[in-house]
Structure 1
């Protein structure tokens, strides 16, 4: 019997049969992705590997978009060995370098059914800007993925139904996008604040992508994967989350693959999911682990404004 999502009458959010402890394999059990193609950025570590492996295990052709191609090839070989899927390939992508993103998108050929914008950096201790003057977390976490998404529009549109997954974080609750000072030229630099802004931007991307592109058969949603120990915490002294709140990589990847490929989300876009369910919109930062997406992160006007600014910045 096929499970169906329901609408929580209290929060008016979409709820699925899955939750915080569900694994990516459980979420896609019985789902056949043969004939589809997926791209996962940052797929040579952490939940990126688990996401790519699960999609490949369900039959999708998967491209691992990574900075270190040799490390990516090792991961691709491991995924093939574990899943039997021979169509797992690697492409070089450096989200900090606009020319690398452009080279990647220019070389892409054929349809793309699932784009998982998974790669990211967190809490750089010192203010770092790219040669073009962009604050590095905003560049890697948002602008690089925005340029990638924009450059792959035609491939997504040609899929006849495509999904974009934008990896955000509950850290977005610590800051909206400060439109008038994206690169910390006037404010004191704050490592967590900069990370939070980039993660808010990742949610806004999905709101506006859905508005603009749903007519092309493209839908986008954002996800908070949860607390997973990975290289992401290298600047924060390791995991700060209590052990009972931590997830394994496959549990962390569960929400990503749900949004990317589950039939439970057919026709759903412009929303924010955590623990495999849509999060309620909140107007103040909730208590720790209470969950929720800030209203400013799903604001349609903010999403349009950011899209227009980002288009200028990546041109």
Structure 2
């Protein structure tokens, strides 16, 4: 984010993905949406497909993905949809997806994620939320870099969260091996990492014509909240004072970042409610934290990712 006024659009917190996509012609464009079998992933895929893009639903549960594809084609008979297996917590699955991709890729929406899980680890010993929300998407996006570069003007939309305000990346203890595990802190750290990834990818890939931006979709009650019990969820809602969006509204900022000509050439920024976010003001639950836009942290995190992935 530069020193100029944050970028605004005609859309806002109440806008839907379909409204953002209205009038777009994505014919000939190829898109991947991770986690497209539930929540805002479905609505992101629907809006892109309705605008003419060929959309690959990259999902853990391919049967659920097929059901979503059938449902979307039921309302948009001309939609071009593919379903492909992808488990972001499994590096072999990520590698297989990347190796199997052929041809250019114009739009990548890194949408999948987990939130507030109990303390779980991948076979490598990595904390699951960091591994899934950041490292899995880092591995996927870097694997797809040649396809994005080949597209000319490709876009990456990295779905973060307002929860990034809760925690910077703790480079000394990424995987909670020394500090007590806190699911909310782990989630916040993983979502800060998503923004830092966008900052560094934007810098590294500018000459390839690839733009990379992060976004907060808003508060939406989806399957993502499944690790909260009802009392925890009620307490979180009361504490944060959230105004909830529908999944269709929650997908709007993803579609804006991924496909709207209003953002042509815009890169390395963080969006919420269909506009570039302002810097966070303490005490207000919105905006983007300085720790998420720190170029030194972004560069360091990129190298950490390369080291961890070998």
TM-score bracket for this pair, using the shorter chain length:
over 0.9
- Which of 64, 67, 74 is equivalent to 1:71? 64
Whether contact under 8 Å (2:32, 2:108) holds in the other structure is yes
Per the alignment, residue 154 of structure 1 pairs with 146
TM-score by length of 1: 0.93
Q: Deviations over 1:133-181 (max 9, x none)?
A: 1000000000000000000000000001100010100000000000110
Distance 1:265 1:286, change over 3 A: farther
Counterpart check, 1:227 vs 2:219: yes
Q: Deviations over 1:239-275 (max 9, x none)?
A: 6437971101110000000000000000000000000
Structure 1: tracts of 5 or more residues without a match: 1-6
Whether contact under 8 Å (1:8, 1:14) holds in the other structure is no
Per the alignment, residue 13 of structure 1 pairs with 6
Q: Aligned-residue CA RMSD in angstroms?
A: 1.7
TM-score by length of 2: 0.95
Per the alignment, residue 3 of structure 1 pairs with none
Distance 1:124 1:244, change over 3 A: closer
Alignment of 1:17-36 (within 5 A): 17-36=10-29
Structure 2: tracts of 5 or more residues without a match: none
Secondary structure at 1:164 match in 2: strand
- Which of 89, 93, 106 is equivalent to 1:113? 106
Per the alignment, residue 176 of structure 1 pairs with 168
Distance 1:265 1:21 in 2: 19
Whether contact under 8 Å (2:214, 2:269) holds in the other structure is yes
Whether contact under 8 Å (2:50, 2:79) holds in the other structure is no
Secondary structure at 1:186 match in 2: coil
Question: How much has 1:129 moved relative to structure 2?
Answer: 1.0
Per the alignment, residue 85 of structure 1 pairs with 78
Per the alignment, residue 129 of structure 1 pairs with 121
Whether contact under 8 Å (1:203, 1:298) holds in the other structure is yes
Distance 1:244 1:175, change over 3 A: closer
Alignment of 1:257-272 (within 5 A): 257-272=255-270
Deviation above 6 Å: which 4+ runs of structure 1?
none
Distance 1:139 1:285 in 2: 28
Secondary structure at 1:15 match in 2: coil
Counterpart check, 1:206 vs 2:202: no
Deviates further, 72-81 or 48-57: 72-81
Secondary structure at 2:93 match in 1: helix
User: How many pairs align?
Assistant: 304
